[in-house]
A and B are shown apart, each in its own frame.
Chain A
Amino acid sequence: MIKFNINGKEQSFEGDPEMPLLWYLRDVQNLTGTKYGCGIALCGACTVHVDGMAVRSCQMSLADAEGKKVTTIEGLSLDGNHPIQAAWRELNVAQCGYCQCGQIMQAAALLAEKPKPTDEDIEAQMGGNLCRCGTYPRIRAAIKLAAEKA
């Protein structure tokens, strides 16, 4: 049996230990805010926090998640008002919105590490998160806005 913590709740799982965290979150826990986009860590749509670090949940098996603390978009903030989430809404960042949970989780990790990120920091840290609608200019602006307000 594998045990881990998801959004503050202890969970255990007895199925395939190879199952990626992504599919466990989505299909077993019905935490569907974490999205599938590529399955091989090329797009960042499935980004969650594992012990505070931004991680591609498609690449972390449940065996590797043993004993870890996982935070998904649903657990990022109780009321949905993390400064990144608020900035995203203030600037209407989303178009289709599908990749945005992953973008928000990545950006939240970036701000936790670097409260005042430069353009270069943003490009380096957000470069793994694809957005096919092309919201990058607003993502950049929203990260700066959140940093300013924090």
Chain B
Amino acid sequence: MIIDRKMSAGVLNVSRRAVSLGFGAGALVLATGLPAFAEEAKPEPKWGGDGMPNGLRDDPTLFVSIAQDGTVSILCIRSEMGQGVRTSVPMVVADEMDADWARVKVVQALGDEVRYGNQDTDGSRSLRHHFMPLRRIGAAARQMLEAAAAAKWGVPVGEVEADNHEVVHKASGKKIGFGDLAKEAAAQPAPERDALKLKDPSKFRYIGKGKTSLVDNMAITTGSAIYGTDVRREGMSYAVVARPPVYGGTVATLDDSAALKVPGVLKVITLDPPKFPTEFQNLGGVAVIATSTWAAMKGRDALKITWEDGPNAVYTTTSYRAAMEEASRKPGKVELSVGDVDAAMKTAKSKVEAEYYIPHHSHVSMEPPVAVAEIKDGRCEIWTAVQSPQAAKDRVSKRLGIKLDDVTVHVTLLGGGFGRKSKPDFCIEAALCSKAMDGKPVLLQWTREDDLINGYLNTTSVERIEAGLDENGKPVAWLHRSTAPSIFALFMEDPKHQATLELGLGLVDTPFDIPNMRIETGAAPAHTRIGWFRSVTNVPHAFALQSFVAELAAAAGRDHKEYLLEILGPDRKMIPKTTEPWWNYGENPDLYAINTGRLRKVIEVVTKEAGWGRKMPQGSGLGLAAHRSFVSYTAAVVEVAIGDGGRIKIPRVDLAIDCGAHINPERIRSQLEGAIIQGISVAMYSNITFKNGVVQQTNFDSYELARMDIAPREVRIHLVDSTGYDAPLGGVGEPGVPPISPAIANAIFAATGKRLRSLPVGSQLAS
């Protein structure tokens, strides 16, 4: 059993050890475990983390444990998938409690939202929602330590102060370490929220500094870090599944005789198909369980299966794209209407219209979906790389008929997530395989081919924009039709139109100052599993919008930056006048209204830093794009150089973000560097297509990603903070992606005069 090396079952395990008499022990008594929504029945909407299922917790006894040797263990309830939460989360708590970072360790929480509040690591929410609760946890722990020291010394609590892992009484010069106070501090009542004294930000030692190296650095660089696929249990077998190639397909006939003869194959089982809507259910098919992954894969190759494809075999990209284009050329469902677009269009001096196409994208995290399950005495234990352990727990419980409390989900490191690993279909498969093996542990591995063929794809869309212009080339009328299949087909009868959530991702929140604007959606049925992918529908919406503005600037013979700032209009706070209530990333529209001044600022910063307007050599060009997403503001300038045969190089990218205060600037930079590369993949290469219901891309040869050769040699990240710690935070993980693909298309236009409206760029420049 290697598995407990880096992950742990939570604070309870820590506190059970004899050496640790910390807050964890108190948790047994103090934690009420009431979900936030049960506390009050008011109909008022809840925003941010409070509006998430199971809400937020800030009880220090749940999250902080101090051992007698002084080691401070801090629970991380969010999943680590490269964004740095396992470093940033304990860093915030440690700073507020004045702990010494060298004596802090992070403990990964089990999936248990009733206890810990929402754990769904998604939507660029971890620090945005948890920064303040984490600060409160740290402050409460510090005050409990101070109260314990004051009581011990018989002095007023106001005379003592925590400082770097000890509590100090200045007047007498007395000092006592956190470890020596652990027991008494645990016995102190946790302070009420209004009695908490948060640090003045000028006193932060770790927050905002970016000097904290990653807690998993040593494990990652030496190969000892444990991802989902690295979990090893005594007597474990390995499984792969042959799933229907067409969404909703079923097994018609199965001959497993040859598979069962493959050395190492232990068992072949048929998995029931899902019921529609399929949500997070597994897709059905045939599982092969064997003594090694290799034997399982060989066994799967030897299966003889005929599939009943079902109605989604009609899904073929070429005809579907044509149908989306057709839908976008006729009136759609009105999602936002301001002024009188038709009248203004008639009187406009000129018109510009353009149609953009964005294909499906697949997450292809480097670690494909994987889970280990083991069932013993009616209890199921899962070890897996998931963004939402609660979803895994809940769906496994439902599918196997095991009580929710009897399903335990251990969260390993995630080898990438990007939204795919919010959906625990693979955990259900692992549990079904374990059940078939009489509960013995089974590691269920998706291959890369499985990941591409049976994933949850980002939507595909046709975006058609039409602008009526005045004599200066400025839009007086704006009509945008967006046609894309909806994520919500997973959860309900197919709505065939983007839902409020998808509309809020860069479509109805178009921040332009145009008197007459209408935004419509066309109908597009879903024939595959549409899921969320880093930045979600911001990717197609921003590509179209930010390409189109550059087209308008070119049509007016204007500088793109100046034109963009002009169309953005005067600095103001905006709330879109949508048909349905505006979805603003779950945030309070008053606190998080669209602030065009912040968007202007990142545009100004990035253009200045990138040397916008500098003379470019023949065949090179600069492209600009800006976008608000996840309540943060980003702008990018991309430099492209076109070589022989239309070969594109990207020597340099500048990207600016205003996400509010920078909690861990080092990880903000790394997230944005990564977003640039992911944006380059989206713009240049990646393209999922279907033929007769089947994905045509099966591995990294046909589904291409950015590699080292296209990675810009110069990447400059510019952190803008126009609000400080007084304003609520914006997201970081996703907002870097949307501006990249339009900035690349705009740069290609600047370099070549060719306007590419269809992604990916691929070989469109090859001549």
Contacts and interface: CB of A to CB of B under 8 A. Distances in A.
Interface stretch (B361-369, B426-434, B485-493): B361-369
A125 to B, nearest CB: 9
A92 interface: yes
A140 B713 CA distance: 8
Contacts of B705: 130, 132
B498 to A, nearest CB: 26
Interface residues of B, number: 67
Report the 5 A-B pairs with minimum CB-CB distance, sorted nearest first. Answer: A33-B223, A134-B677, A98-B415, A95-B82, A96-B82
A137 B711 contact: yes
Contacts, number: 192
Nearest to B292: A27
Contacts of A129: 707-708
A114 interface: no
B283 interface: no
B559 to A, nearest CB: 29
B220 interface: yes
A43 interface: yes
Interface stretch (B126-134, B225-233, B561-569): B225-233
Interface of A: 15-16, 19-20, 23-24, 26-28, 30-40, 42-43, 45, 72-74, 76, 80, 85, 88-89, 92, 94-101, 104, 119, 122-124, 126-140
B238 interface: yes
Nearest to B680: A134
Interface of B: 2, 80-84, 213-214, 216-218, 220-227, 229-230, 232, 238, 263-264, 291-295, 298, 363-368, 413-418, 445, 447-448, 666, 670-671, 673-678, 699-701, 705-709, 711-713, 715
The listed residue with most B CB atoms (<10 A of its CB), out of A16, A101, A132, is A132
B448 A39 contact: yes
Contact of B293 (A23, A130, A135, A136): A23
Contacts of A98: 227, 365-367, 413, 415-416
B443 to A, nearest CB: 9
A108 to B, nearest CB: 11
Contact of B706 (A15, A16, A134): A134
Contact of A80 (B84, B222, B368, B676): B222
B723 to A, nearest CB: 26
B720 to A, nearest CB: 20
A128 to B, nearest CB: 8
Nearest to A129: B708
B223 A16 contact: no
Nearest to A88: B221
Nearest to B679: A134
A124 to B, nearest CB: 8
Given A72-B223, A133-B82, 16 more contacts: A26-B293, A35-B366, A38-B700, A39-B447, A74-B223, A89-B221, A92-B214, A95-B84, A98-B227, A100-B220, A104-B221, A128-B707, A130-B707, A133-B674, A135-B674, A136-B707
Contacts of B84: 95
A20 B83 CA distance: 32
Contacts of A35: 227, 229, 366-367, 415
Contacts of A33: 222-224
6 contacts: A27-B238, A27-B293, A98-B416, A119-B713, A122-B708, A134-B674
